[in-house]
Amino acid sequence: MTDRIDENPPLSIPEQAAEWLLRWHCGDLTIAERFEYLQWLKTSPVHIAETLRMCRLYSWLENTKLKLFITNEDSFSNVVELPPREREAAATRRARTVGLWKGRIAAGIAAIALTGAVSFVVKTSWLDHRLQTHASEWRSVPLSDGSSIEAAPYTSLRHVIGEERRLITMAQGLAIFRVAKDRSRPFLVEAGGVEVRATGTQFTVERQPDQIIVMVREGSVVVSPSDAAAVKFERVALTEDWQVTISGSGSPKLERVDSNQAFRRAQGRLNFEVGDTIQDAVDQFNQFNAIQIEVDHATGARQMRGSFDAIDPLSFAASVERATGSPMVRESDELVRIGRRESHTDAHTD
């Protein structure tokens, strides 16, 4: 918000939500500010939840305003003209009761129309055979063959369900694939030169900038280089609770994992166990959210256990603050700092 009071500390989320509502109420937002507001809403579901709560509070206050200040014993009593407003409000409430059914019918019709419009938009995006998620967004998509894809934030892929094969091309991100059995049409996932072939199974594929990770929860898959792969490696058959990591070196790294926990992570639940550091946890949150966390080296090196909602980095940061005593500072809409500010060099040489 360009009109924000700069000399004061950053606003809390309830304050930001209130300020946007008040400024919108005033009707003085420029196009640039409306864009900024939109981006703020799109930053996190937490912002939307707070806006909805603030709206309810405003609605409630306004609806009961005539009674709220009736016992005020200070100088503000001369501002409120209670008697005529009380009568007006009572008359309005009576009219409201009479009009209740009409209102409900109108709201119902509007809801159906709007639901139809939204459904159309969603359906159109499905027919486009593309799936793209943004920050804090988990999305589940059923495919025409009975399979399904659950995509984590910042995932981008295309899917084509053909007569001879079912092909998913993954550009980035993390997704769970639940494959419907169909031996006549192999289910292929291509990601960065790696091909994952399945018939009926459940597995995840994660494409990171420098490596591809495939993990199987049920059944089996075969991981091999795709035709266009720059780096060749020996094909690997993966079964339940096994994971393979393919990196630029070309040698697949196999390891046994807890597939249930890996699935929970892919679905938005982050669990940290003994041995996991706060920095590890911060990296996970930063992977999924627009709101980024920075933690100083000393705090980041400490261990932390717990289970967190992956789209709620602020609650996680508050937990770290409580557990470690390192102060949490909301530096901007998209940056939370835990502990002292330090230079990039410090963080790696300390």
Partner 1 sequence: MSDARGDVGERAQDPRDGRLISWFQRWRRPIRYWLSSRSSVPAAEIDDLAQEVFLRLLRYSDDIAIENPQSYLFRIASNVANEWRERAQRRQPHDNSWLEDLQSAPGAEPENAVAHGRARAHVQAAVQRLPPRQREVLLLHVNEGLTYKQITERLGLSPRIVLRDLTRAYSHLRTQLNLEDLEDMDQR
Which residues from 19-78 bind partner 1, rule CB under 8 A? 19, 21-28, 31, 34-35, 37-39, 41-42, 44-46, 48-69, 71-72, 74, 76
Among 152, 157, 216, 311, contact with partner 1 (rule: CB under 8 A): 311
Give me the sheet containing 335-338, strands edge to edge. Answer: 292-295, 335-338, 328-332
Q: How far is the CB of 28 from partner 1 (least distance, A)?
A: 7
Rounded CA-CA distance 245/229 in Å is 15
* Nearer of residues 100 and 301 to partner 1, judged by Cβ: 100
Restricted to residues 200-229, the positions that interact with partner 1 (CB under 8 A) are none
Q: How far is the CB of 306 from partner 1 (least distance, A)?
A: 19
Token digits for 124?
Answer: 């159109």
Q: How far is the CB of 320 from partner 1 (least distance, A)?
A: 20
Restricted to residues 110-139, the positions that interact with partner 1 (CB under 8 A) are 110-111, 114-115, 118, 121-122, 125, 134, 136-137, 139
Restricted to residues 316-335, the positions that interact with partner 1 (CB under 8 A) are none
* Nearer of residues 101 and 164 to partner 1, judged by Cβ: 101
Count of chain residues binding partner 1 (CB under 8 A): 79
Write out the DSSP string of 120-188.
HHHHHHHHTTEEE--TT--EEEE-TTS-EEEE-TT-EEEEEE-SS-EEEEEEEEEEEEEPPP-TTS-EE
Rounded CA-CA distance 14/46 in Å is 10
Q: Could you tell me whether strands 253-256 and 269-272 are parallel, antiparallel, or unpaired per DSSP bridges?
A: unpaired
Q: How far is the CB of 56 from partner 1 (least distance, A)?
A: 6
Q: How far is the CB of 100 from partner 1 (least distance, A)?
A: 8
The one-letter amino acid code at 322 reads R
Rounded CA-CA distance 234/223 in Å is 9
